[in-house]
Amino acid sequence: MSALLKPFLERWRLTALVASLAMLAIAHAFETFGGLAPCALCLRAREVYWVAAGLALAGMLVTRMAAGARWRWAFDAALAAVFAFGVGLAVYHSGVEWKWWPGPTACSGGGGSVSAGQMADLLGGAKIAPPACDKAAWVFLGLSMAGWNALASLGLTALSLLAVRHEKRKPS
């Protein structure tokens, strides 16, 4: 194992917590400062990071208790499963954006911004279409946010699995 990775794997639950909160903060920044309203699949992706953050925090607390160290690998494995689910969700979302398969019916909206005219229409009883899952709101180096999320989740899954292996190799 690389000496560079060892400090992160030793405290994987803390690292996973920080990474999850960072991903949530980035998503919130895109929404708040970038004006990019999240679609239904974007919100689902955030749920993955909330679950991972809660699991990592629980793992930190449990493994600090007497005889809790034996559960480190289990929390790391559970984090790997959560992040792997995130990979699948992000790949699915990317495929919806690329029109490889249809998205959920809740994602058939039309845009992310609301004009003053639309607000007046809303007050008059009209409905505003939510952001569509099949339109990438932001692309960098050919990847949408869903694509970047897939890569981040894949990396976090791999690191979680390395943390499991690291814990299993520790002497009892």
- pTM check: above 0.85: no
Identify the pLDDT of residue 56.
95
Identify the pLDDT of residue 86.
95
What is the spatial distance between Cα 107 and Cα 28, in angstroms, rounded to a whole number? 19
Identify the pLDDT of residue 122.
67
Q: Give the pLDDT confidence of 59-76 residue by residue, as tens digits.
A: 988 888 787 777 788 889
Count CB atoms within 10 A of the CB of residue 54.
13
Identify the pLDDT of residue 85.
96
Least Cα distance to 84 among 16, 167, 5, 171 occurs for 16
Low-confidence residues of the chain: pLDDT under 50: 110-111
